[in-house]
Structure 1
Amino acid sequence: MSKMKPVVWPQVVLLGDSITQFAFQANGWGSEIANKLAGKCDVVNRGLSGYNSRWAKILLPRLFPSGGPGNNNNNNIVAVTVFFGANDCALEDKNPRQHVPLPEYSENLKDIVRHLASVGVSADKVILISPPPLHEPAWEKECRLKGSPLNRLNPVTGQYAQACVQAAGQCGAEILDLWTLMQKDGQDYSVYLSDGLHLSDEGNQFVSRHVWRLLESRVATLPFTLPYWGDVDPQNPKSTLLCDP
């Protein structure tokens, strides 16, 4: 008896910090994307709360190993979002643990894209996402509750967002500049944030909408991985369910 071929779903991988880790919460931007792709593609959450681009770069070979026996999953990846910066931009004198200097942050992003390319995920499959704007009054309140002073500033976050945009252009990745988009035309961007830093429900909807706009062309031709229920032969379901698409 021949060995049955396993079912392998394509993957969209979400790599980032807490804004990505929380993306699978109720109404999260990642869960919205996963819902749109149900049956066609797995959406894999690799959000790591509190992480910066330095730590992500170190960890990358473990998350996306090079090819070899048992390590060929990278071939199934259709897109990767890379969403760091909200921790990197922490002020060095107030939060040295998470702070990453601006030049290093830029190089880390480019190194992440290069590593992905080296393991079979080309730059055109990568979407870099800039940190969103920081609403200082709300975030300062959160900091004070934890006994610390305000440790991030929106203009500094903007410098990191601009570095993210430049890095994407230099390495051929797609870019989603949340810092600019959320402040476009002087709109009240605080509605997009739950605590001044992390996303509110409205912010999650905003991110989901813009990520989907960039993802849609990459996943538009993906078929359903398994047959539609109405196409299953009820008299002989094996003939439908065990055949290769």
Structure 2
Amino acid sequence: MKVICYGDSNTYGFDPRGWLGGRYDADNRWVDILARRTGWEILNWGMNGRAIPSQAPAFPADTDLLMVMLGTNDLLQGRTPSETAQRMLRFLAELTVEHDKILLIAPPPVAFGAWVQEQRLIDASAELAVQYRALAERLGVRFADAGAWGVGLAYDGVHFTEQGHWAFAEGIWKELIVSPAASENTSPNTSY
């Protein structure tokens, strides 16, 4: 099973405790935790600061599952949830990956912190999940709401803590094991 995780700094594994853009070690990044647990080939295509691109990259033809989690940076740049969802619609519509192989993940809502000083941003990030759910239904792609997984955020109100990465990995694991598309012809390892 070949999985690509396409996202921003929370997919990359950014460690907000350092000033130089470091990342958590592989033992504490959700992508790597998930790879160990499933035994699948999982590629981390996360990048710090990534907003929803205006043009979709070319993903490998043999991709079995594409997980997309973007939108937080769009909101931090001043876009509304509706504008962000429209950008995501254009992005997903351009993909050559079959829609039944795409999992759109709504990022956990941001919280008050060093980067988040306004209730408006918190409300917008919660609204994004509603917009993404409707978008996923419209396009026929799978959807997951990471806001329901108890993901802990660091002092900045945006980035996952190490414990947050573990909570995210557990949430996405539960999402994937109940899905016939993800578990077909696989035998994931049930321990870390």
Q: For this structure pair, what is the TM-score category when the shorter chain's length is used for normalisation? A: 0.7 to 0.9
Structure 1 residue 223, shift from structure 2 partner: 6.9
* CA deviation map 1:72-130 (0-9, x unaligned): x31x111111101211112xxxxxxx3334333112222232222xx2x2112111111
Question: Which runs of 5 or more structure 2 residues have no equivalent in the other structure?
Answer: 15-23
* CA deviation map 1:111-161 (0-9, x unaligned): 232222xx2x2112111111212221xx2xx34xxxxx8367211211222
> Residue 105 in 1 paired to residue 84 in 2?
yes
Higher relative contact order (CA 8 A, sep 6+): 2
Contact kept? 2:81, 2:124, Cα under 8 Å: no
Matched to 2:130, the amino acid is Q
Contact kept? 2:81, 2:125, Cα under 8 Å: no
> Residue 221 in 1 paired to residue 188 in 2?
no
Report the counterpart of residue 29 of structure 2 in structure 1: 28
Contact kept? 2:104, 2:141, Cα under 8 Å: yes
Q: Partners in 1 of 2:122 and 2:187 — Cα distance?
A: 42
Which 4+ runs in 1 deviate beyond 6 A?
A: none
Larger radius of gyration: 1
> Residue 167 in 1 paired to residue 135 in 2?
yes
Matched to 1:213, the amino acid is K
Report the counterpart of residue 177 of structure 1 in structure 2: 145
> Residue 208 in 1 paired to residue 169 in 2?
yes
Contact kept? 1:11, 1:42, Cα under 8 Å: yes
- Are residues 206 and 223 of structure 1, via their aligned partners in 2, closer, same or farther at CA, if it must alter by over 3 Å? closer
Question: Which runs of 5 or more structure 1 residues have no equivalent in the other structure?
Answer: 1-9, 65-72, 91-97, 144-148, 183-188, 225-245
> Residue 11 in 1 paired to residue 23 in 2?
no
Q: Partners in 2 of 1:101 and 1:135 — Cα distance?
A: 17
> Residue 84 in 1 paired to residue 48 in 2?
no
TM-score by length of 2: 0.78
Overall identity of the aligned pairs, in %: 24
Report the counterpart of residue 93 of structure 2 in structure 1: 114
CA RMSD in angstroms comes to 2.5
Q: Partners in 2 of 1:13 and 1:209 — Cα distance?
A: 17
Q: How many residues align?
A: 173
TM-score by length of 1: 0.63
Q: Partners in 2 of 1:105 and 1:111 — Cα distance?
A: 10
